[in-house]
Amino acid sequence: MFGLSQEEISELSDEQLQKLNDKIVFVRDAMPGEWLDHSDELRDAAELLWHDKSNDLRTSMEQVGEIQQGDLVYKEKINKYYYISRPYLLLAGFSIENVFKGLCVARNPSLINTGRLDSELREHRILVLAGKLKDINLSEAEAKFCKVAQDAIPYWGRYPIPLSYNRLLPEVGLDSELRRTFLDLQSRLGARLHRAIRDGWDSGVGPETLKRRSKRYGDNIRHDESLFE
C-alpha cells in the first residue's frame, strides 16, 4: 500500500494513518470507472433537460454591422435558442471532459496514484485533453462540438459574462445535430474506456477494481458470473 509494508503501516501514528487513509480514498475515487460513471450521469442529466416538456425557445437580439454602399450600417439580428441550450451544453462538456480524463488515467495510473491530481489533468480545455490521446481521432463535427463545449464550460454555459471584455465569445445554440454529435462521441469514448477497465484496473498503490459489467456498454449480465475472479 503506497510502498509500505504491513509492518511499516502498523508503526504509523494516528495522524500518519489518517493521511494514508485519505490517500487511499483519493485514489479509489479517482480510478477510471469513477470518471466514466460521472460522464454517464452528466450525459443522462443533459438528456433529461432535452426531453423536458417545458423546453421552449428564448431569443436574444444583437447589432450586426455590414457595409452598404460604402457605409457601415447596423441591423438588428434576432437569435433563437432552445431554453435549455446553455445548461445542456455545459453538462455535455463536463461529460466529455470526464470521459477523456478517465481514458488518460486508465492508461497512466501515475496521474492520480500519488494522492494528487497530476497537472496534466488540471485542464478543462477538451481539445487539449483529446490531444493527449493520440489514438483517438475526432471527426470535424466532433472537434466542433468539443470547441463549443470547452467555451461553454468557463463562460457562457454558466455565466453571462467572461472575466474580461477581451474574452467575449459568441454563444452557440444547441440543435439536433450538435446533440447527436455529443451523444455519439460520448458513447464511443465511454465504450472505449469501459473496455479498457471491464476486466480490472490496478492503481499500482493498493486500490484496484476487479471486473466491471455494464448493460449500457453492451455487456451480457450473468448473475452466475463472479466479479472476484
Average pLDDT score, the chain = 89
CB 185 within 8 A of CB 96: yes
> Alpha helix locations (H) across 79-175?
85-107, 126-131, 140-152
Domains of the chain, first to last = 6-55+84-209 (1.20.120.330)
* Residue 54 three-state SS: coil
CB 49 within 8 A of CB 55: yes
pLDDT band at 40 (very low <50, low <70, confident <90, very high): very high
Q: 177: which 3 cell numbers?
A: 445535430
Instruction: Give the tens place of pLDDT for each residue, 204-219.
Output: 999 999 899 999 999 9
Residue with cell 439580428: 77
> Is pLDDT at 225 greater than 90 in this prediction?
no
> Is pLDDT at 64 greater than 70 in this prediction?
no
pLDDT band at 109 (very low <50, low <70, confident <90, very high): very high
Residue 81: per-residue pLDDT? 79
Instruction: Give the tens place of pLDDT for each residue, 115-154.
Output: 999 999 999 999 999 999 999 999 999 999 999 999 999 9
Higher local confidence (pLDDT), 62 or 153: 153
What whole-number percentage of the chain has pLDDT above 90?
67
Letter for the amino acid at 163? L
CA atoms within 13 A on the CB side of 135: 6
> Alpha helix locations (H) across 4-152?
6-10, 14-29, 32-50, 85-107, 126-131, 140-152
